[in-house]
Amino acid sequence: MLPFQQVDVFTAVPFKGNPVAVILEGDALTAGEMQTIARWTNLSETTFVCSPTDPSADYRLRIFTPKNELPFAGHPTIGSAHAVLRQGRTPKTAGRLVQQCGKGLIQIEHDGERGFFALPTPRFVDGGEQLRDGLAHALGVAPSALRSITTVDVGPVWITVEMLSADAVLALTPDMGGLCTLMPDGRTGVTVFGLHDPAEEADIEVRSFAPGEGVPEDPVCGSGNGCVAAVVRQRRLIAKREYQARQGRCLGRDGRIAIRFADDGTIWVGGQAVTCVEGVLTV
């Protein structure tokens, strides 16, 4: 029997964020068994906390969608860190966890009730703009409704699309089959975003679609929001050093994601987390 938590991420209100299944003693499992469990939980990601091979790391995290293993993902990072601390593990460095994963070492810090991870350095990839007509058709809008298209690699690779407004994002009814056929090899999916009116509580509305990974719409996506943040910084869309995004309302959720731009160029992605299910997994 293996300790298990299901953690709701990017929310302080149970069942309003994005759940991740966290198996806290993953060393006992093979990669095939991990994939089978991830397929069974049928969440956007399931994680397995393992012993690190790097002495500077507190733990090694393996992250699985229902179909594949990922080198890194955002909400599983915050959710797994929450579960590790709840289990009673003591970080090697006070106030900071170091997660080893396929993308390398990820720094995780806490600011009060929120956890923040340092986004892996974004890499901008060619090839997004040539998909404009196909993306517009799959999203159910005119090509002119897509203000910009940028492919960003942070481990997961998101085709990141700016819409004309937050309301335009909320109104989308994508053709998931159409989105699947558009995804070149190595692309995770499509994240769309639009700016809110300045009077609104949040600055940006975000939605993420990854039907090829078995996740038609991700309720609240950390890596997708990290890619949005990279585009926001590159295009200077928001002047503030910290902004808030909302995601998940079309799925009955209300995720809140905090983005910080550090002086050294690091993008920090953060939010709250709450454990909703706790027990043991029998394997």
pLDDT above 80 (res 127): no
Determine the average pLDDT of the residues in 111-124.
Answer: 94
So what's the pLDDT on residue 225?
98
The pLDDT value given to residue 7: 98
- What pTM, to 2 d.p., does this model score? 0.95
Please give the pLDDT value at position 128: 74
Q: Is the pLDDT of residue 14 over 80?
A: yes
Residues 168 and 195 in one domain: yes
pLDDT, position 134: 94
Q: Of 71, 144, 123, give the one whose Cα is nearest residue 230.
A: 123
The CATH number linked to 48 is: 3.10.310.10
Domain count across the chain: 2
pLDDT in tens, 49-60: 999 999 999 999
Report the percent of the chain where pLDDT is more than 90.
91
pLDDT digits (tens, 9 = 90+) for 216-245: 999 999 999 999 999 999 999 999 999 999
Instruction: Compare 126 and 75 and report the one with higher pLDDT.
Output: 75
- Of 45, 162, 213, 217, the catalytic one is 45
Band (pLDDT 50/70/90 cuts) for residue 258 is: very high
**Stretch 145-154: mean pLDDT, rounded?**
96
Q: Is 160 found in the same domain as 103?
A: no
Q: In the prediction, which pLDDT does 271 show?
A: 98
Instruction: Write out 54-109 in H/E/C secondary structure.
Output: CCCCCEEEEEECCCCEECCCHHHHHHHHHHHHHHCCCCCECCEEEEEECCEEEEEE
Q: Calculate mean pLDDT across residues 269-283.
A: 96
Residues 181 and 107 in one domain: no
Q: Which residue has the tokens 């860190």?
A: 81
**Does residue 108 share a domain with residue 96?**
yes
pLDDT of 208: 98
Same domain, 93 and 159: no
Token pair for residue 219? Answer: 């309720």
Residues 44 and 146 placed together within one structural domain of the fold: no
Q: Which domain holds residue 167?
A: 123-263
Displacement of CA 26 from its chain's centroid (Å): 21
pLDDT above 90 (res 130):
no
pLDDT mean across residues, the chain = 95
**Distances in whole angstroms, Cα of residue 205 to Cα of each of 36, 107, 138:** 33, 26, 19
User: pLDDT tens digits for 170-211?
Assistant: 999 999 999 999 887 788 999 999 999 988 999 999 999 999
Same domain assignment for residues 128 and 257: yes
Task: Tell me the two tokens of residue 144.
Answer: 């002119």
Reply yes or no on whether 200 is catalytic. Answer: no
